[in-house]
Chain A
Amino acid sequence: MPLKWVFNWQPNAGSTVNSQILNEVSQCVESMNGVKEGRWKATLTFYKPMLRDQALAAEFPREFIGISLPEQPNKYYFILRGNKIVLEADSSIQLIMEKLQSYKSRVALNFEGFQYQLGDFQLRVGKVVPTHSENLRGIVMEVEYLPISSLEKSKQIMDEFVEIWQEAVSKRSLPGHFMHIEPNFSEYGLADHYTSQHTAVQYAHVMGHLIATVQAVQAGRN
């Protein structure tokens, strides 16, 4: 399948994310002749262990994440970042987890917005909001290059596109920038040929950055 890079919006020190930034980013895509195609939505859920003795919490994974992706409606993904494990399963795995009652959903977030076609690229721009809330927690972007599935072979063209994109965004003088740090996919046992498991790992890492950003803002306030 085509490879993609997932970006998250990194606000400048002292600033926070807001819907005006999201609007500006969307306008930026449209100004590059991006053709709006429709909506997209991914969900991410943090699971916590149900423990009889909370003092033993350190024995269990601190971050157990479940992800559903729009391009794989019948699949569900689990990621344990600390253990570098990614699992692809049928959607029914969620029902199994409910029946086991060993882990329960703690927080669920939606990544949702519009997708655009830009030549051989498909862009998705989305807000990060808790389910049942409009409280904006972040902004993400996906850049998908449709002709190639190899991470290695696509690197140059993706770098070139991102350079053009970052330049277009910087002209709007927004208080932040999009950041992409590629996870070490081989640590998760993933190969050069791109799959939805790669996407799930990227989203889990984006969450890590989002959490760190929110915590930094809170620390700054305190």
Chain B
Amino acid sequence: MECVVQGIIETPYVEALEILLQGLCGVHKQSLRVHEICLKSGPNLGFVASEVRLLCDLEQSEPTWTVKHVGGAMRGAGAEQISVLVRSMVESKASKNVLRLFYALGYKLDHELLRVGFTFHFQRGAQITVTVSSVNKMLKLHATDGDGPVPVTPGIQLVEVTAPATSENYNEVVAAVSSFCEYLAPLLHLSKPGVSTGVVPTAAAAAASLMSDGGGTTS
């Protein structure tokens, strides 16, 4: 299970966001370069269609693979009240044969993306991860290098805040994520995936302020 919120930020303000995050989190960013391969079950496989994501971390010298299943969101009146999405999520590290395995099992490529950016991992009431990335599509199958990937939304980057949760503690995790997101409000608005809020009008001024501080927030 995980708690998730998303937002968008214009590329010129990403550096300011990084400064803000550095100050809030007290840790250094980690570079992100992940090839995300989204597979769907073929037409005859399963009584319901299924999707699975294979994530290949290209930042390491030897690429590492993760299998990720994102399930349904928590529903009901309680879920609608909270501003954070709570959904089922299971991950597993896997050896490099994983794409071949799923193709052999009858899964087909639905789409693939290349996410390039950075992440912050830190503890603040919950184990929170902030990911800031450009989302790129490949012009040729699996071509993650060279001239291949092009931004899906040029000039705009995706910001995702996630935290793992359980059925016992998700309320605390939701509170921790919501509380953290308030600090980012001058630069961007974060909301449930699928609930689009656009860019924030104060972003330019907030970014200018952060940059003029000389990045001077203490770590």
Contacts and interface: CB of A to CB of B under 8 A. Distances in A.
Contacts of A83: 100, 104
B166 to A, nearest CB: 14
Contacts of B44: 51-53, 56, 59
Contact of A89 (B67, B71, B104, B107): B67
Query: Which of B41, B50, B101, B105 counts the most A-chain CB atoms under 10 A from its CB?
Result: B105
Given A59-B106, A96-B69, A102 B92 contact: no
Contacts of B95: 86-89, 197
Contacts of A78: 101
Contacts of A88: 94-95
Interface in A70-91: 78, 80, 83, 85-91
Contacts of B98: 87, 89
A60 B97 contact: no
Interface residues of B, number: 26
A60 to B, nearest CB: 5
B52 interface: yes
A84 to B, nearest CB: 10
B92 A93 contact: yes
A87 B71 CA distance: 23
Contacts of B90: 92, 95-96, 99
A99 B52 CA distance: 10
Contact of B106 (A60, A91, A92, A189): A60
Query: Which of A86, A90, A102, A197 counts the most B-chain CB atoms under 10 A from its CB?
Result: A102
A50 B92 contact: no
A80 B104 contact: yes
User: Which of under 10, 10 to 19, 20 to 34, or 35 or more describes the interface residues of A?
Assistant: 20 to 34
A60 B67 contact: no
A183 interface: no
A56 to B, nearest CB: 5
Given A56-B44, A78-B101, A83-B100, A100 B106 contact: no
B100 A100 contact: no
A87 B106 contact: no
Given A80-B101, A87-B94, A99 B69 contact: yes
A178 interface: no
A52 B47 contact: yes
A89 B52 contact: no
B106 A49 contact: yes
Interface of A: 49-53, 56, 59-61, 64, 78, 80, 83, 85-93, 95-96, 99-103, 189, 197
7 contacts: A50-B46, A51-B44, A56-B44, A86-B95, A86-B97, A87-B101, A89-B67
